[in-house]
Amino acid sequence: MPPLLLAAAAEAASCAPMRLNDLGHLLQVMGTFLGLSLFSLGGGNTLLAEYHHLSVVQYCWLRPAQFADIYALAEAAPGPSSMIVGLLGMGAGWPEGPGWALLSAYGAEIAILLPSTLLMVVACLSWNRLRESPWRVAFERGLGPITLGILFAVGVKILQTADTNAPGVVVSLLVCVLMLRTRISPLWFMAVAGGLGAFGLINR
Amino acid sequence: MTEPPAPTAAPPGLGQLFMGMLMVALSAFGGGLSAWSQRIIVEQRRWMSNEEFLTGLTVARLFPGPNQINMAVYVGTFFRGLPGALAALAGMLLVPFTLLMAIGLLYFQFHSLPALDRVLAGVVAAAAGMALSMGFKILDEYWKDPMALLLAAVTFVLMTFFHVRLVPLVLVAGPLAMAWYWPRRSQPGPPAGEPR
């Protein structure tokens, strides 16, 4: 087991978590999410790779497996899956206890929603002028393909982060095809795959 | 069955907006948020016409932010400006976010239990498949536009193999793509034809 321990030690050394033990750090986290808000194209999923970078690589709030878990939980839970930001904030604050984790969760979620909400309000109020503007047309047509590329990159990133064994990857690919070809609720896929995990067929 | 199209009801107040979106969120447990908001806002409460609702979907998809959340902001703003937007948003998020917070607290408390970790390993595999399907879902729209496919491919390669971060990528590639697709008088469609 020494190689494993060494690897774990190296990982711990390379990734020193930014502790959210005071309000200054919490505000820094909120600032990060405030700055990302307006980049959530294509319904917000474009931000997932960035969330991964921030929480796993840069700030070390979460281990890669935890990020994968949290993504799955946010997808499985009812409501908009973009609420994953609340769970990231919770992970960031967890070492300081559940109370601080909740505060950090609400802070992160408010920060990611505030700028896009304000822009959306302005957009609604001025939509009649925006509708025919060449800026709108160019924005819609130009950012679409970029969103497409980002979504593929996000899919690959999540697949890498999931890091399951070969049967797990087969299940991932199968779910991808079923998502595209059928209208079965994804909750079924998660339930069945969770069962396969419980029996040890899928592991990581 | 065939009710005459009743005139739209009186514009809702802040409390009604909150309750209306709360109902949408509760009805949509298990999925279909967009369909439920249409059913409740247009058909049941008659707050807005179907056309106004569809305009909202267009705006919500166009602008940054999660589509469903932007839709709530649109409905709120439509009637009561910024306060309405906040009321609608609170109604939409209250129950799901509270539930998610409960799930999160349980997760961080218990995720190291081997039994839970085993189940999650399976769920994660399925969720990864869902993530992988997101790009394919909108691929059709761009299939006949080689420039769009090139832009998407370059974006994908830069992010996946060169680890370019999202913000600089969008700030550089966005304006370039917008310049390419800038509407020209003589040529109203994108260069390779309207997507579908």
Q: What is the pLDDT of residues A157-169, one digit of tens each?
A: 999 999 999 999 9
pLDDT for the residue numbered B7: 52
Per-residue pLDDT band at A8 (split at 50, 70, 90): very low
Q: Is the pLDDT of residue A19 over 80?
A: no
pLDDT tens-digit profile of A32-44?
Answer: 899 999 999 887 8
Q: Mind telling me how many Å the CA of B150 is from chain A's nearest CA?
A: 8
Distance set, CA A11 to CA A4, A16, A72, A94, B22 (Å): 10, 9, 24, 20, 44
Q: Is the pLDDT of residue A4 over 50?
A: no
Q: Mind telling me how many Å the CA of A24 is from chain B's nearest CA?
A: 23
Chain B, 146 to 185: residues with Cβ < 8 Å from chain A are 147-149, 151-156, 159-160, 165-167, 169-170, 173-174, 176-183
Q: What CA–CA distance (Å, rounded) separates A66 from A53?
A: 13
Residue B105, token pair as written in the block: 């607290």
Q: Which residue of A has its CA nearest to B82?
A: A121
Mean pLDDT per 10-residue interval, chain B, length 196 residues: 56 93 86 83 91 90 90 93 95 94 96 93 95 92 93 96 94 94 68 45
Chain B, 130 to 149: residues with Cβ < 8 Å from chain A are 130-139, 141-142, 145, 147-149
Q: Mind telling me how many Å the CA of A135 is from chain B's nearest CA?
A: 8
Quick check: helix, strand or coil at residue B184? strand
pLDDT for the residue numbered A13: 45
Cβ of residue A180 closer than 8 Å to a chain B Cβ: yes
| Contact yes or no for A39 and B167 at CB 8 A | yes
pLDDT for the residue numbered A7: 47
| Contact yes or no for A78 and B137 at CB 8 A | no
Residue A53, token pair as written in the block: 């970078």
Nearest alpha-carbon partner for B74 in B94, B96, B98, B47: B47
Q: Is the pTM of this model over 0.80?
A: yes
pLDDT for the residue numbered A1: 39
* Chain B residues near residue A134 by CB distance under 8 angstroms: 182-183
pLDDT for the residue numbered B76: 94
